[in-house]
């Protein structure tokens, strides 16, 4: 228990003593009246028997006085210990900008959806230090570690599926993870929680073992690798300004979401996977990252102020005492 105004603690015995004194004085007056007028005459004038000390009234008054005095003191329950401070969040967002991200099986396209995701994260995580990496066959740090979310949002608007067209030979997920690790290490924060978020359709041109090995290496280095999938299993044709992209046989290439690879990559990296092609998945992703950066409402210590409860306890006691003083509950008067 804690006291907000301990200097007022003297009110507790003082209030009880004054109320007791007032009731004793009233009772003695009634006793003197009884001696002067006689017991039978006094019964006709007063609703109470003066011969018996009003113990019930005294108890109600003393308890109510103590409760009111404690309310004035400001008694409060000891609040639970505050949760440990949340570690700052360092977030590296690696965005796939290979040609397959131009597929339109996600409205309006996969890369346009990636822009929306990055913008939403920059707004929802203003306290995070953020890195923006783009990759196709090779990765490039577009925004080095910054504490300004507006910078990340500004550069997110430039993301296009042909951003690295001259070097676009596929999707190198392992290289993207390695580049994100290097970018985070360039401006570390002591005690920060480091997360790499890969936004991709998972269409990697490299072996799965290389991707999982790089994710596991990041986890061993104290990072978490999250993955956000864009696209559908049905997929869509890959198009450019000159027409669809054809394979060696002249058939249009269809880019499909490789959700299984992204899920295994996130598991190897100690993170989680969300499909962000729809708003529900995006909300889940944002909420998950916010949980890393902010304490939840249940972690915050609740207020333990007992003043209101003490008042609720005192008022009924005063009402009961008033009823006893008015004669309710007293023994019935005898007829003349």
> Do 287 and 171 belong together in one domain?
yes
Report the domain count for the chain.
2
152 found inside a domain? yes
> Do 291 and 308 belong together in one domain?
no
pLDDT single digits (tens) 86-133? 678 999 999 998 888 888 888 888 999 999 999 999 999 998 999 999
312 found inside a domain? yes
**Alpha carbons 209 and 173: distance in angstroms, whole number:** 11
- Residue 300's pLDDT is 52
Q: Which residue has the tokens 């409060």?
A: 76
> Do 174 and 38 belong together in one domain?
no
pLDDT single digits (tens) 254-308? 888 999 999 999 999 999 999 999 999 999 999 999 988 765 444 455 555 677 6
For 12, the domain range is 2-80+302-325
Torsion (CA) 230, 235, 239, 245 in degrees, nearest 10: 120
> Do 11 and 57 belong together in one domain?
yes
Q: How far is CA 32 from the centre of its chain?
A: 68
334 found inside a domain? no
Q: In which band, very low, low, confident or very high, does the pLDDT at 26 lie, cut at 50, 70 and 90?
A: confident
> Do 18 and 116 belong together in one domain?
no
Q: How far is CA 216 from the centre of its chain?
A: 29
Q: What is the CATH number of the domain that holds 174?
A: 3.40.50.410
> Do 64 and 142 belong together in one domain?
no
> Do 157 and 274 belong together in one domain?
yes
Residue 67 has pLDDT above 70, yes or no: yes
Q: Are 71 and 310 in contact (CB under 8 A)?
A: yes
9 found inside a domain? yes
Find the distance separating the first CA and the last CA of the chain, reported in whole Å: 56
> Do 291 and 307 belong together in one domain?
no
**Alpha carbons 178 and 122: distance in angstroms, whole number:** 22
76 found inside a domain? yes
Average model confidence (pLDDT) across the chain: 80
Does residue 270 sit in helix, strand or coil? strand
> Do 32 and 168 belong together in one domain?
no
> Do 35 and 110 belong together in one domain?
no
| Tokens encoding 283 | 């909300």
238 found inside a domain? yes
**Sheet of 89-96, strands arranged across:** 139-146, 129-135, 89-96, 193-200, 223-229, 270-275
Before 124, cis peptide (omega within 30)? no
335 found inside a domain? no
> Do 313 and 205 belong together in one domain?
no
- DSSP-assigned states of every residue in 77-124: PPPPPPPPPPPPEEEEEEEE-SGGGG-SSSSS-HHHHHHHHHHHHHHH
Q: Please name the residues in contact with 259: beta carbons below 8 A apart, sequence gap of 6 or more.
A: 202, 229, 233, 273, 275
Q: Are 166 and 181 in contact (CB under 8 A)?
A: no
pLDDT single digits (tens) 34-61? 666 665 655 555 555 556 677 777 787 7
- Residue 297's pLDDT is 45
> Do 41 and 162 belong together in one domain?
no
Alpha-carbon distances of 129 from 202, 254, 272, rounded to whole Å: 25, 36, 20
317 found inside a domain? yes
């Amino acid at each position: 228990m804690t006291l907000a105004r301990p200097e007022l603690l003297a009110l507790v015995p003082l209030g009880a003593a004054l109320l007791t004194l007032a009731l004793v004085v009233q009772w003695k007056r009634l006793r003197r009246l009884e001696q002067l007028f006689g017991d039978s005459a006094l019964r006709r004038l007063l609703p109470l028997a003066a011969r018996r000390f009003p113990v019930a009234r005294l108890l109600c008054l003393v308890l109510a006085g103590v409760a009111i005095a404690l309310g004035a003191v400001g008694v409060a329950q000891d609040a639970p210990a505050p949760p440990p401070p949340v570690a700052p969040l360092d977030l590296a967002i690696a965005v796939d900008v290979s040609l397959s991200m131009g597929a339109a099986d996600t409205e309006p396209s996969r890369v346009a959806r990636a822009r929306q995701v990055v913008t939403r994260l920059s707004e929802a995580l203003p306290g995070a230090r953020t890195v923006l990496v783009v990759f196709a066959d090779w990765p490039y740090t577009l925004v080095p570690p910054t504490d300004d979310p507006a910078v990340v949002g500004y550069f997110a608007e430039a993301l296009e599926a042909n951003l690295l067209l001259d070097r676009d030979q596929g999707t190198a997920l392992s290289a993207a993870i390695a580049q994100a690790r290097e970018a985070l290490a360039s401006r570390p924060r002591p005690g920060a929680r480091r997360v790499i978020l890969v936004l991709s359709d998972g269409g990697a041109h490299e072996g799965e073992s290389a991707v999982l090995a790089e994710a596991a290496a990041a986890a061993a280095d104290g990072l978490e690798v999250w993955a956000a999938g864009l696209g559908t299993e049905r997929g869509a044709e890959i198009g450019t300004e000159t027409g669809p992209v054809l394979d060696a046989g002249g058939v249009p290439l269809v880019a499909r979401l490789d959700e299984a690879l992204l899920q295994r990559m996130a598991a190897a990296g100690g993170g989680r996977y969300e499909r962000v092609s729809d708003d529900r998945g995006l909300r889940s992703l944002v909420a998950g990252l916010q949980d890393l950066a902010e304490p939840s409402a249940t972690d915050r210590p609740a207020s333990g102020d007992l003043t209101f409860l003490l008042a609720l306890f005192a008022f009924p006691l005063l009402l009961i005492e008033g009823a006893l003083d008015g004669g309710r509950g007293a023994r019935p008067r005898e007829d003349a």
